[in-house]
Amino acid sequence: MIVKTDSQSKQRAPRGKLDARVLIIEGRYYEDIGDLLLEHAVAALTERGVAYEHIVVPGALEIPQVLIQAANWGLLTRDAANGFDGVVALGCVIRGETSHYDIVCNNANHWMMETAARHATPVGNAILTVDTMEQALARANGGKGADAANACMQLIEIGRAFETRRAGAV
């Protein structure tokens, strides 16, 4: 059985409870934005009964570093005691006067996604990369945190469907 993603099904598939544990890694550079992203992400996880742990770092550049540390300690698997089935990344990068915006955005996203790919870890990404606080507030209020949580949970389900298929149980 292949789990249909929202983009494939005509309407949002009903989502039941999901036995999983997710690590929320938050680069909390803007408190108000962080509160909104976290609120929506936690609501989406809680709606499906998914357990979560929440680690806060100073900014987006530290997000992939936490992911890499979790990988190095063998925690990006449910097979490990207290391991994680997936990760939700929350953050907000707002362009300033210099090129530092590009450094932060490019490296935070590149190394996070590279680590996710290397370890086949489901990662939902809500690191906002915007030009103004108004843009950030609109997206944080609009549920980008929930989108990232839902993406992570769908990837977890897809991985489990593949595992079942590989075991020949389909």
Ligand X SMILES: CC(=O)[C@@H](O)COP(=O)(O)O
Ligand Y SMILES: Nc1c(NC[C@H](O)[C@H](O)[C@H](O)CO)[nH]c(=O)[nH]c1=O
DSSP string over 102-116: HHHHHHHHHHHHHHH
**66 vs 93 by CB, closer to ligand Y:** 93
Distance of closest approach, residue 37 Cβ to ligand X, in angstroms: 16
Number of other residues whose CB lies within 10 A of the CB of residue 26:
25
In contact, 64 and 104? CB cutoff 8 Å: no
Angle between helices 144-166 and 31-47 (to 10 degrees): 40
Rounded-to-integer distance, Cα 152 and Cα 88, Å:
7
- Listed ranges 17-25, 57-65, 116-124, 152-160: which one lies at the site for ligand Y (CB under 6 A): 57-65
Provide the mask over 12-51, with x wherever binding to ligand Y is found by CB under 6 A and - wherever it is not: ---------------x-x----------------------
Q: CA 28 from chain center: how many Å?
A: 14
Distance of closest approach, residue 99 Cβ to ligand X, in angstroms: 7
User: Which amino acid belongs to residue 109?
Assistant: N
Asked about 54 being catalytic, the answer comes back as: no
Among 76, 89, 93, 149, binds ligand Y (CB under 6 A): 93
**61 vs 66 by CB, closer to ligand Y:** 61
Interface residues toward ligand Y, by CB under 6 A: 27, 29, 58-62, 91-94, 104
